[in-house]
Copies of this chain bind each other. A is one copy, B any other.
Amino acid sequence: MPTATQPNCSIARTLQLVSDRWTFLILREAHLGTTRFADFRDYLGIAPNILTNHLNSMVDSGLLEKREYQSPGERSRSSYHLTPAGEDLKLVLAALQQWGDVHAPRPDGPTVLRRNTQSKEPVNVAFITKTGTAVPDEDVIFDPVPGSPADRTTWR
């Protein structure tokens, strides 16, 4: 379980654990099915020492789990697998992807689609009610809890 309990804002706490570009890109690879060190390195073009540091810190913060595997005749190696908390970042990655597809589109079209594994249909990220009905973005507000540190009417 990730352990950030400070600061007060949930967005800020999440950003303490997924704080930089490499972390997001490693998560993207993990969500595409990559588990082996050499594959992360090759697909991302990341320097091995930087990759090691990031993987270790993502294991420490509970996003990845480290396992050992051994191919016949080779030495034991490490692989990295999403924890349930890491799996749950799928929505964050999908929201970043969807925004990029709309507001900074690739001229040749997207390289990765989000699909329903059951129906093969494309899926989007959206706000929904408790009963699972979509709510338009413009009908959603961030509403500070009265008396909490986010309540600006009592701020200072």
Residues of A within 8 A of B (CB): 1-5, 8-17, 19-21, 24-25, 28, 31-32, 42-43, 62, 85, 87-119, 121-130, 132-135, 137-145, 148-152, 155-156
* A112–B155 touching, CB < 8 Å: no
Which secondary structure dominates where chain A touches chain B?
mixed
Give chain B residues whose Cβ lies under 8 Å from the Cβ of A118: 139
Query: Chain B: which residue is nearest A34 at the CB level?
Result: B152
Give chain B residues whose Cβ lies under 8 Å from the Cβ of A112: 9-10, 142-145, 148, 150
The one of B1, B90, B133, B140 that contacts A103, using a Cβ cutoff of 8 Å: B1
Complex Cα distance, B98 from A23, in Å, reads 18
Give chain B residues whose Cβ lies under 8 Å from the Cβ of A87: 137-138
* A127–B124 touching, CB < 8 Å: yes
Complex Cα distance, B75 from A155, in Å, reads 26
Query: Chain B: which residue is nearest A132 at the CB level?
Result: B134
Chosen A-B contacts, 12 in total, with CB atoms closer than 8 Å, are A11-B100, A12-B28, A28-B142, A43-B155, A94-B95, A94-B142, A97-B142, A112-B142, A112-B144, A112-B148, A123-B135, A123-B140
Give chain B residues whose Cβ lies under 8 Å from the Cβ of A122: 130
* A125–B95 touching, CB < 8 Å: yes
The one of B5, B42, B92, B119 that contacts A104, using a Cβ cutoff of 8 Å: B5
Give chain B residues whose Cβ lies under 8 Å from the Cβ of A16: 104
